[in-house]
């Protein structure tokens, strides 16, 4: 029987969660195509605040990597925005010309941030806080500017503000209301929250209404309606969202605030469904993740033809994801008419609790400082059970005059369908099954098995409590976590086992060492590929499918789906002939932008994927590895060749180092620099390996980083000759290659093991010589990637086909 064609517009959390559930219920029923406007796989949007706050990186928030789509036969058209729908012929068309016919169409288009229509709102530096691109702008802005203003004192605004504070910016929060989070908290809890956040460094301007955003090209100042003003280099608007319904409206679907749907998420046109933030059910458009997952479960069952009672709406709860602050809110907490409330406030310990009741039922709750009872209260609220006679017990955790109810007992009383991990929709029953039937006796193993606590981590205490409840004496201290969720083995254990057992491929490693997931994941596959190549440089065949996307294409993918081509320019030194060749190639291929990089190279931006092979052939230059975990650049100043302050030939030294180490594969990207005198114009003291010329010799510096987490180098040693510079650089880089974790920059590695450890390891010349020989062997096995592709007709012929479906995003 032929599969039906299912097309989904939107690659976000709600839509992909629906597809996940559908694949479990009816894996062979549909041929699935997904259009996603962003150039990323499915990621956890609610974790963006954790990325800003330093608790996670971009890779950590990926829910389903590129390999997941491939494994399930899903065609993902990332970077494609759907611009038209022919509902008669059932066809979807994107802005890049892609078309897909459908039997079933799902709108999962989410929402757009609401941007206040203020004068100056279109200036540079005025953004929302909605996606990865917004995160990237904040990260970049924090390196150059210091003053940030967040308009909106709600949940999202405070999370954005805390992230900017972590990035070292001065943060002011502007809120039109009398107190913070006025949609989730009452005045008392909001006051305690403000006091705590002020201690962390935030400044608050309450009852302020922004009138205009001032500045020429970039924002410089906010002006308020009361005549006051505030200096700002960055303005983040976090004042709400609006369902993304323009496409649905133009396609003839019934739309109010959102796309109108029934209890089975069916729109006004048969065969077209909608869910998530773009949908409106019984007059409500939800913006929290738990209701969207509930909608997805109903729709998946409907499409799989599994009996379901339909979606009846959701009671919602919220948690604030800000370091050092625990806030929980649910239901109607603002003392609605006919209700009664109980409050408990302890200003010494910073605890506030409030429950709201009506007709002997719990209808609302606010918790600050101690949110451990949040899940239990929320469960009672949703059940609608009578709490008559138990009101004070629910507020305090024990009945006055009676014994205290233990946390374990409260967990035991939760129904099994209660959602413990809202980020990933994991219920108490799922965690119970993982502990009792799948041998998960720690929070770490439950996370690997179910994804519970794998996102924001707010539910980790509950997960640990359930493990203790069901595992009993077998629940020991949490087991150590491995390099990823597929294994409990760390880097050193894996390398030792590979060496001991002579394992020769990633699949063999995963099979022999008992990986939980036989195909591995986006974290372990690249690391295993690197460790095997490092251990067996002459015999190991690099597994292209275990490389990150940029390394597969040998170019940096840009947000519009094009690529950047960066040829190697040794030490930043070029010639008129080379410049002329680069310019001619750029003209022939209509390169939109040619940019001088910070590493003294030339970046050709906006190159089409299909043009990459011919472009490299015409350039006939080595790749600069701007995309790789490899030697990137060796930055130089002019040194004694031209500069009157120069004490040594920094250009010659830089060119020699770059030619020595080009194509070298490393655990993370590596940057070098050579300065011709202590004035350090090449910024050698923020590089992985920096060389600074002094009278009669060279200082060798290691472990620097000029990125998000700036780290100055530490002095490794002082040498006299250029040969000694190469000797020590070779030994240091090879020791780093052999000892560091995968994806661990030298700055992190040096900070972890200590400079004294590295000095001790490299002090003997015999050891340095042996390390240098191993490094030469590793480099000798590597070919320039484009010369390899261009020299092999079959590889060149199949380049596009071989890289169409990318398993790993990097």
On the 0-12 / 13-18 / 19+ scale of CB atoms within 10 A, 691 is: buried
pLDDT-derived band at 476 (thresholds 50, 70, 90) equals: low
Residues 761-765 have a mean pLDDT of 95
Round to whole Å and give the CA distance between 747 and 743: 11
* Pick from 278-287, 445-454, 620-629: least confident: 445-454
Termini Cα distance of the chain: 38
Average pLDDT, the chain: 88
Which residues belong to CATH 3.30.413.10 in the chain?
624-783
Identify the CA nearest to 264 among candidates 227, 232, 311, 296.
311
* Pick from 34-48, 733-747, 780-794, 795-809: least confident: 795-809
For residues 305 and 554, the model is more confident at 305
Which residues belong to CATH 3.50.50.60 in the chain?
4-112+243-303, 126-239
Tokens of 534: 């490092």
* pLDDT per residue as tens digits for the range 333-381: 877 888 999 999 988 888 999 999 999 999 999 999 888 788 788 888 8
Range 285-310 burial, b when 16+ CB lie within 10 A, else e? bbbbbbbbbbbbbbbbbbbbeeeeee
3-state secondary structure 587-655: HHCCCCEEEECCCCCEEEEEECHHHHHHHHHHHCCCECCCCCCEEEEEEECCHHHHCCCCCCCHHHHHH
Residues tagged in the binding site annotation for [4Fe-4S] cluster: 637, 643, 677, 681
At residue 789, does pLDDT exceed 70? no
What is the enclosing helix (H) or strand (E) of 569?
Answer: none
3-state secondary structure 39-69: CCCEECHHHHHHHHCCCCCHHHHEEECHHHH
Q: Which residue has the tokens 């251990």?
A: 535
Instruction: Check if CATH label 3.50.50.60 holds for domain 126-239.
Output: yes
Q: What is the DSSP letter of 431?
A: H
Phi-psi region of 137 (alpha: psi -120 to 50; beta: other; left: phi over 0): alpha
Residues tagged in the binding site annotation for siroheme: 681
Q: Which residue has the tokens 């209509």?
A: 590
Question: According to the model, what pLDDT value does residue 808 have?
Answer: 45
The alpha-carbon radius of gyration of the chain (Å, integer) is 29
pLDDT-derived band at 804 (thresholds 50, 70, 90) equals: very low
* pLDDT per residue as tens digits for the range 218-264: 999 999 999 999 999 999 999 999 999 999 999 999 999 999 999 99
Residues tagged in the binding site annotation: 637, 643, 677, 681
Residues 661-684 have a mean pLDDT of 94
Q: What is the CATH number of domain 624-783?
A: 3.30.413.10
CATH architecture of the domain formed by 326-405: 2-Layer Sandwich (3.30)
Prediction pTM value = 0.63
* pLDDT per residue as tens digits for the range 767-783: 999 999 999 999 998 88
> Strand pairing partners for 124?
218
* Pick from 283-292, 715-724, 796-805: least confident: 796-805
**Strand 210-214 relative to strand 221-224, pairing:** antiparallel
CATH architecture of the domain formed by 4-112+243-303: 3-Layer(bba) Sandwich (3.50)
Identify the CA nearest to 591 among candidates 608, 566, 572.
608
Q: What is the CATH number of domain 419-474?
A: 1.10.10.1100
């Amino acid at each position: 029987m032929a599969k039906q064609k299912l097309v989904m517009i939107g690659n976000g959390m709600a839509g992909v969660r629906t597809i996940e559930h559908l694949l479990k219920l009816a894996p062979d029923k549909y041929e699935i195509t997904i259009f996603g406007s962003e150039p990323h796989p499915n990621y956890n949007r609610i974790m963006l605040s954790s990325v800003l706050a330093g608790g996670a990186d971009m890779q950590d928030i990926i829910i389903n990597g590129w390999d997941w789509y491939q494994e399930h036969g899903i065609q993902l058209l990332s970077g494609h925005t759907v611009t038209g729908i022919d509902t008669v012929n059932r066809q979807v068309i994107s802005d890049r010309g892609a078309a897909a016919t459908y039997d079933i169409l799902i709108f999962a288009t989410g929402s757009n941030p609401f941007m206040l229509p203020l004068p100056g709102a279109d200036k540079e530096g005025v953004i929302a806080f909605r996606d990865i691109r917004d995160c990237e702008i904040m990260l970049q802005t924090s390196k150059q500017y210091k003053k940030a203003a967040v308009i909106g004192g709600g949940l999202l605004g405070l999370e954005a503000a805390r992230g900017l504070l972590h990035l070292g910016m001065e943060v002011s929060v502007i809120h039109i209301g009398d107190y913070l989070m006025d949609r989730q908290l009452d005045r008392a809890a909001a006051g305690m929250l403000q006091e705590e956040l002020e201690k962390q460094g935030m400044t608050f301007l309450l009852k302020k209404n922004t009138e205009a955003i001032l500045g020429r090209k970039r924002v410089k100042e906010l002006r308020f309606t009361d005549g006051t003003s505030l200096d700002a280099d960055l303005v983040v608007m976090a004042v709400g969202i609006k369902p993304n319904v323009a496409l649905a409206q133009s396609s003839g679907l019934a739309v109010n605030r959102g796309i109108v749907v029934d209890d089975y998420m069916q729109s006004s046109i048969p065969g077209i469904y909608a869910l998530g933030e773009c949908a409106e059910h019984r007059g409500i458009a939800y913006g929290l993740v738990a209701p969207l997952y509930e909608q997805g479960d109903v729709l998946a069952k409907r499409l799989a033809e599994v009996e379901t009672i339909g979606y009846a709406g959701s009671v919602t709860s919220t948690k604030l994801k800000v370091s050092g602050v625990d806030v929980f809110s649910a239901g109607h907490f603002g003392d609605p008419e006919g209700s009664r409330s109980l409050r408990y406030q302890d200003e010494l310990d910073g605890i506030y609790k409030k429950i709201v009741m009506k007709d002997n039922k719990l209808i609302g709750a606010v918790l600050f400082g101690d949110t451990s009872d949040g899940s239990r209260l929320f469960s009672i609220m949703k059940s609608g059970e009578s709490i008559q006679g138990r009101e004070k017990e629910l507020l305090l955790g024990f009945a006055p005059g009676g014994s205290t109810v233990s946390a374990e007992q409260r967990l035991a009383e939760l129904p099994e369908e209660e959602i413990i991990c809202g980020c990933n929709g994991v219920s108490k029953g799922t965690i119970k099954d993982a502990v009792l039937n799948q041998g998960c006796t720690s929070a770490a193993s439950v996370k690997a098995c179910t994804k519970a606590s794998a996102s924001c981590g707010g539910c980790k205490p509950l997960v640990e409590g359930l493990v203790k409840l069901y595992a009993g004496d077998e629940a020991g201290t949490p087991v150590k976590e491995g390099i990823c969720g597929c294994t409990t083995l760390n880097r050193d254990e894996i390398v030792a086992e590979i060496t001991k057992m002579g394992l020769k491929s990633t699949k063999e490693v995963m099979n022999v060492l008992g990986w939980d997931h036989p195909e591995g994941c986006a974290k372990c596959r690249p690391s295993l590929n690197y460790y095997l190549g490092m251990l067996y440089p002459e015999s190991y065949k690099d597994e292209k499918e275990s490389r990150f996307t940029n390394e597969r294409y040998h170019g940096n993918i840009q947000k519009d789906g094009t690529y950047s081509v960066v040829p190697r320019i040794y030490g930043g030194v070029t010639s008129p002939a080379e410049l002329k060749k680069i310019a001619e190639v750029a003209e022939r291929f209509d390169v939109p932008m040619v940019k001088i990089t910070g590493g003294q190279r030339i970046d050709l931006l906006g190159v089409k994927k299909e043009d990459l092979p011919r472009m490299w052939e015409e350039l006939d230059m080595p790749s600069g590895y701007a995309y790789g975990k490899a030697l990137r650049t060796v930055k130089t100043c002019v040194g004694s060749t031209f500069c009157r302050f120069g004490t040594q030939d920094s250009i010659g030294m830089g060119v020699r180092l770059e030619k020595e180490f080009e194509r070298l594969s490393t655990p993370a990207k590596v940057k070098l620099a050579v300065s011709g005198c202590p004035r350090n114009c090449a910024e050698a003291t923020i590089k992985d390996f920096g060389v600074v010329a002094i009278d009669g010799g060279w200082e060798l510096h290691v472990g620097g980083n000029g990125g998000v987490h700036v780290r100055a180098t530490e002095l490794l040693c002082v040498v006299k000759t250029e040969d000694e510079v190469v000797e020590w650089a070779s030994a240091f880089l090879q020791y780093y290659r052999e000892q560091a974790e995968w994806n661990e920059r030298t700055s992190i590695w040096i900070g972890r093991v200590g400079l004294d450890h590295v000095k001790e390891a490299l002090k003997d010349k015999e050891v340095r010589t042996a390390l240098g020989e191993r490094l030469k062997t590793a480099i000798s096995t590597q070919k320039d990637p484009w010369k390899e592709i261009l020299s092999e007709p079959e590889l060149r012929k199949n380049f596009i086909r071989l890289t169409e479906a990318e398993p790993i995003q990097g």
